[in-house]
């Protein structure tokens, strides 16, 4: 997710219980079995891990995608991403793959992952916790599965350490993060 913008008026802070409820809503929709799960970094790591445990998916992989900075010019909106990390063809070819991310905002990241999996001969299905259809930049397509539709800026519990100045006191960390020596 991008950095919080001071112009954002509708911010929704989620608790771990909220995330559990979203995943509980998402799980019955999924039409497994899946041969593998690809978590889109970083937002898809936590929900992907929980979903892989719930569905007993043993091949859990990660995809890290970066787009060049966008300045709202059409040519930057259409730029190709860089895949910083991606599973090899041997993990995807001929396999049903569940791709998990936290949110479909523009949809560019998760659809780039879908396209690359398809190019490698895999059969991806996309699942997100939150879907923002009004912000989608990839046409009429959307995720195959989603737990909720929103127009809000979502702050997940695993993001609060970065957004503590915006978090309600009840959700802010109660003590400093321990350091390892």
Residue 31: is its pLDDT beyond 80? yes
Q: What is the pLDDT of residue 165?
A: 55
64-122 confidence digits (pLDDT tens): 999 877 666 666 666 778 899 999 999 999 999 999 999 998 888 999 999 999 999 99
Which CATH number belongs to the domain containing residue 130 in this structure? 3.40.50.2020
Residue 42: is its pLDDT beyond 80? yes
Task: Tell me, yes or no, whether 152 lies in a domain.
Answer: yes
Task: Tell me, yes or no, whether 23 lies in a domain.
Answer: no
Give the separation between CA 87 and CA 56, rounded to whole angstroms.
19
Strands 82-85 and 145-149: unpaired
Q: What is the pLDDT of residue 82?
A: 87
User: Global pTM?
Assistant: 0.82
Report CA Rg, the chain: 17
Mean pLDDT of the chain: 85
5-17 confidence digits (pLDDT tens): 444 678 899 999 9
Number of independent structural domains in the chain: 1
Task: Write out the residue range of the structural domain in which residue 152 sits.
Answer: 31-68+78-159
Kindly compute the dihedral angle of the four CA atoms of residues 15, 21, 25, 26, in this order, to the nearest 10 degrees: 50
| Segment (H or E) for 63 | strand 60-66
Task: Tell me, yes or no, whether 43 lies in a domain.
Answer: yes
């Amino acid at each position: 997710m991008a950095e919080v913008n001071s112009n954002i008026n509708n911010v929704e802070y989620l608790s771990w219980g909220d995330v559990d409820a979203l995943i509980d809503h998402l799980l019955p929709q999924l039409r497994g079995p899946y041969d593998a799960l690809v978590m889109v970094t970083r937002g898809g790591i936590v929900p992907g891990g929980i979903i892989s445990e719930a569905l007993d998916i043993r091949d859990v992989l990660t995809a890290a995608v970066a787009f060049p900075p966008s300045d709202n010019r059409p040519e930057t909106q259409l730029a190709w991403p860089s895949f910083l990390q991606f599973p090899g063809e041997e993990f995807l070819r001929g396999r049903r793959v569940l791709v998990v991310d936290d949110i479909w905002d523009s949809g560019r990241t998760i659809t780039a992952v879908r396209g690359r999996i398809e190019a490698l001969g895999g059969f991806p299905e996309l699942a997100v916790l939150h879907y923002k259809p009004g912000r989608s930049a990839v046409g009429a397509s959307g995720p195959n599965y989603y737990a909720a539709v929103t127009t809000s800026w979502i702050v997940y519990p695993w993001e609060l350490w970065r957004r503590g100045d915006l978090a309600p006191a009840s959700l802010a960390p109660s003590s400093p993060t321990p350091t390892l020596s």
